[in-house]
Structure 1
Amino acid sequence: MKQSEQSAQQALPSVWTRPERRRRDQPALSREQIVATALELLDSEGIDALSMRKLGARLGAGAASLYTHVANKDELIELAVDEVYGEVELPEAGGAADGEWRAAAAQCAHGLRAAFLRHPWIASVLGEAGLSHLGPNMLRMSEAMLGVFEDAGFPLEEADQAVNTLSAYVIGAATSEAAWLTLLTRSGRSEQEWVEHLWPAAERAVEPYPRLRRLYATRRAQDAEGARGDAFGTGLDSVLDGLATRLRG
């Protein structure tokens, strides 16, 4: 490898920018096993519980076996994040060419939100997940969504902007929801119990603000989980409406 290539890799520390390490003998663990167990640990105990030592204990393996596949905790998080993206069902190639691009985009958006809410720890690591856009599952999703918008009639550059706009909305909304779900888990209460417990303080806080006071009053008896889903759907419709307008223009 040329020195310039080595320097570039050192400047971009990521599991996706270095060759996977190889051993002459067959390692007892695979990267897939390591990542699957890391996901179990993250889902059950949260991001603060993740460590190479604790993960090794769950796998019944020493650190050397882990480091064959993963250089450090940061790389492990990159792999876990990409695994979450791999749970999203992607639209079939060419499926949006018949004008159903909006349904295909909405399907992917709802799938990504659902994946984030199944793994709420992701809200605390996305900004630290390194070069997550280079992960294989993320690349497959990006390629599929580019196809959706390009088949709909967007030029490739505008299709990329459409994908970025949609992703920004979904990730922003879903990470906020995931952070909320993490708070609920720590409280030990159901979502509806927590909302009802919080409501009197919220009403006192908005008392000086007439618009917020009216808004809160309309939401007093809402089902909390259902309201979150409705709000996400309304926001998604607004994003897709905007993209449809650009497409017609």
Structure 2
Amino acid sequence: MARPRKPLLNRERIVEAAGVLVDREGLEAVSTRRLAAALGVSGPSLYNHFRTKDEILEAVADAVSARVDLSMFGADDPRDWRTALRDWAHSYRGALADHPNIVPVLARGPGRRPSGLRVADAVFGAMTAAGWPPAQATRIGALMRYFILGSAVGSFARGFVDDEAAYDPADYPHLGQAHLLAERQREVDEGAFDAGLTALLDGLALQYEALGLSRGEALA
């Protein structure tokens, strides 16, 4: 019997299958049995590529991190630090919005994940290149992660039900329009992210100017 041209199993196929399970059913859906069935292989063969389920989830998380655009932090990119952070934040949030179930794994930090570490390295490098002191650059990277990951944990708008009767004005005098939020989820959630990001960057700009640096200084 001729050998197959491509291996029946590799890390990429496992990560892709695990990512589909996570997206559809959540982290708990990932198991050796489920993955083996989805891939058409025996369960033990997975251990030739990953030792544990946690390693698989870490790889799925890193695959999501790899989708985040880092081009704005390049030495040849003309964007200043504020614009770069804004564009990166939108790219990062977009990647998480497509794969919200993996956010708890990403929230642990980059650990040893190559793509996650590249993100952290790019942000820190760009901030220090723009003149931020290293300690403050570290804080900026942290607060941006807190903000972006927090925005991806859940939807504010979806937290309200599409039922006007649920918000009796006698009990909730200021929630008369809350039942309309669910149908306006994207508008509400994206608007909130933009408002928060602008406020955050405005605050950082004030700190930047207080350090005697030029707000328009390019990353290079």
Question: Matches of 1:244 and 1:134 in 2, distance apart?
Answer: 32
CA shift in 2, pair 1:103/1:219, >3 Å: farther
CA shift in 2, pair 1:114/1:200, >3 Å: farther
Q: Which consecutive aligned stretches of 4+ in structure 1 deviate over 6 angstroms post-superposition?
A: none
**1:111 is matched by which residue type in structure 2?**
S
2:14 corresponds to 1:53: no
CA deviation vs aligned residue, 1:56-79 (integer Å, no higher than 9, x gap): 111111122210111111111111
Question: Matches of 1:45 and 1:125 in 2, distance apart?
Answer: 15
**1:155 is matched by which residue type in structure 2?**
P
The equivalent of 1:116 in structure 2 is 96
Matches within 5 A, 1:165-176: 165-176=143-154
CA shift in 2, pair 1:75/1:199, >3 Å: farther
- Residue segments in structure 2 that go unaligned for 5+ positions in a row: 1-5, 211-220
**Larger deviation: 149-158 or 217-226?**
217-226
**Larger deviation: 44-53 or 166-175?**
44-53
The equivalent of 2:165 in structure 1 is 200
Question: Matches of 1:231 and 1:158 in 2, distance apart?
Answer: 25
**1:46 is matched by which residue type in structure 2?**
G
**1:224 is matched by which residue type in structure 2?**
Q
- Residue segments in structure 1 that go unaligned for 5+ positions in a row: 1-25, 182-190
**1:228 is matched by which residue type in structure 2?**
D
The equivalent of 2:201 in structure 1 is 240
- 10, 21, 34: which is aligned to 1:41? 21
- 79, 85, 106: which is aligned to 1:105? 85
Question: Matches of 2:119 and 2:141 in 1, distance apart?
Answer: 10
CA shift in 2, pair 1:101/1:28, >3 Å: same
2:86 corresponds to 1:94: no
SS at match of 2:51: coil
Instruction: Calculate the TM-score normalised by the size of structure 1.
Output: 0.71
Percent identity (aligned): 32
- 134, 139, 144: which is aligned to 1:161? 139
C-alpha RMSD over aligned residues: 2.7
Q: CA deviation at 1:44?
A: 2.7
CA deviation vs aligned residue, 1:214-249 (integer Å, no higher than 9, x gap): 3x3466656221111000100011111111111111
Q: How many corresponding residue pairs?
A: 202
Query: Which one has the bigger helix percentage?
Result: 1
Instruction: Calculate the TM-score normalised by the size of structure 2.
Output: 0.79
Is the Cα–Cα contact under 8 Å of residues 122 and 175 in structure 1 kept in the other structure?
A: no
The equivalent of 1:152 in structure 2 is 130
Higher RCO (C-alpha 8 Å, min separation 6)? 2
